């Protein structure tokens, strides 16, 4: 049985659940304005056998005031948490949410950060699952500890000091900002310390990766759009950021779907960058 490493559709997941091998499904629903609502929705109903991962508690680390709103979690803590939720080493993992994949993609990227390749996002998420008349469960599954252990990362990151050095040395990296166009321009900023964007960054709102039905665009379409955005740059020298390192993972997933692998995540993203009064800021488009 081949692994799913980017996306899985509802029919494919239903087949896995019926015929095996049994995957582990994680519900990643979340709302930045109501942090408890995703877990409450999970308790109300969820995909068969799904376990819940909370963006703040499970998929992020401790804030220091200068490391962004959603810093990366401790690798060993996240590994232990996944193991406690029953993940077996090498087992297929499926992530889903109800927000177009914005939180599921963060969890997808983190599993790859832990060295786990067999992880995919449910294309269309919960709305697609419901639309395809698939079953939902209301009971929380009984869990026993799994055997999952982390290994060498399959993805890479870059830190603020490295980006600052690159800006000083001539912008050899291509920075792609996944925030909405208005926040990128420096308008309507309500979440972070300053408005604007990292000088030289290019804007690719993460929702532009989706079609009108809330599913990811076809690989050939994503490849065309990202190739145009990257210009002469290779995907392997691209750096991806957003407000806090969450929706940037959506762009990284879209690149993988398009066959343009190798981009780096700037985990602190704009929330970290803007908290440094000495970090340069650009406004406008």
163 and 123 inside one domain: no
Identify the pLDDT of residue 93: 98
Domain holding 252, by residue range, is 156-273
Domain-ending residue, one of 114, 131, 148: 131
160 and 126 inside one domain: no
177 and 258 inside one domain: yes
Identify the pLDDT of residue 171: 74
122 and 166 inside one domain: no
217 and 171 inside one domain: yes
CATH number of the domain within which 112 lies: 3.40.250.10
Identify the pLDDT of residue 1: 59
Identify the pLDDT of residue 87: 98
The residue ranges of the chain whose pLDDT is under 50 are none
* Residue 2, in any domain of the structure: no
Q: Is 242 a catalytic residue?
A: yes
Q: Which of 160, 110, 137 is nearest to 51 (CA)?
A: 137
- pTM confidence score: 0.97
What are the backbone angles phi and psi of residue 282, rounded to the nearest 5°? -115, 150
* Residue 145, in any domain of the structure: no
Domain count, the chain: 2
124 and 183 inside one domain: no
* Residue 150, in any domain of the structure: no
Query: Annotated catalytic residue: which of 10, 28, 77, 242?
Result: 242
79 and 171 inside one domain: no
200 and 93 inside one domain: no
Identify the pLDDT of residue 170: 79
117 and 180 inside one domain: no
| Contact (Cβ atoms closer than 8 angstroms) between residue 193 and residue 66 | no
Tally DSSP H helices, then E strands, for the chain: 10, 10
Domain-ending residue, one of 86, 116, 131: 131
Identify the pLDDT of residue 72: 98
């Amino acid at each position: 049985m081949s692994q799913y490493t980017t996306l899985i559709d509802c029919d494919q997941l239903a087949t896995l659940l019926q015929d095996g091998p049994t995957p582990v499904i994680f519900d990643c629903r979340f709302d930045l304005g109501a942090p408890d609502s995703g877990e409450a929705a999970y308790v109300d109903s969820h995909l068969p056998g799904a376990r819940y991962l909370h963006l703040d508690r499970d998929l992020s680390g401790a804030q220091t005031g200068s490391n962004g709103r959603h810093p990366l979690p401790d690798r060993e803590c996240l590994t232990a948490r996944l193991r406690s939720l029953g993940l077996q080493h090498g087992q297929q993992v499926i992530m889903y949410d109800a927000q177009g994949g914005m939180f599921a993609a963060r969890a997808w990227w983190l599993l790859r950060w832990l060295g786990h390749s067999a992880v995919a996002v449910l294309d269309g998420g919960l709305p697609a699952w419901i639309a395809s008349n698939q079953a939902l469960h209301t009971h929380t599954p009984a869990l026993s500890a799994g055997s999952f252990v982390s290994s060498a990362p399959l993805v890479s990151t870059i830190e603020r000091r490295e980006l600052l050095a690159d800006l000083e040395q001539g912008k050899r990296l291509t920075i792609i900002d996944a925030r909405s166009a208005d926040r990128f321009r420096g308008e309507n900023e309500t979440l972070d310390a300053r408005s604007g964007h990292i000088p030289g960054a290019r804007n690719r709102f993460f929702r532009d990766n989706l079609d009108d039905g809330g599913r990811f665009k076809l690989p050939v379409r994503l490849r065309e759009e990202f190739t145009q955005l990257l210009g002469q740059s290779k995907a392997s020298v691209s750096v991806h950021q957003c407000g806090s390192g969450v929706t940037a993972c959506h762009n990284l997933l879209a690149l993988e779907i398009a066959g343009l692998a190798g981009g780096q995540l700037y985990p602190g993203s704009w929330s970290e960058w803007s908290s440094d009064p000495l970090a340069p800021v650009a406004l406008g488009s």
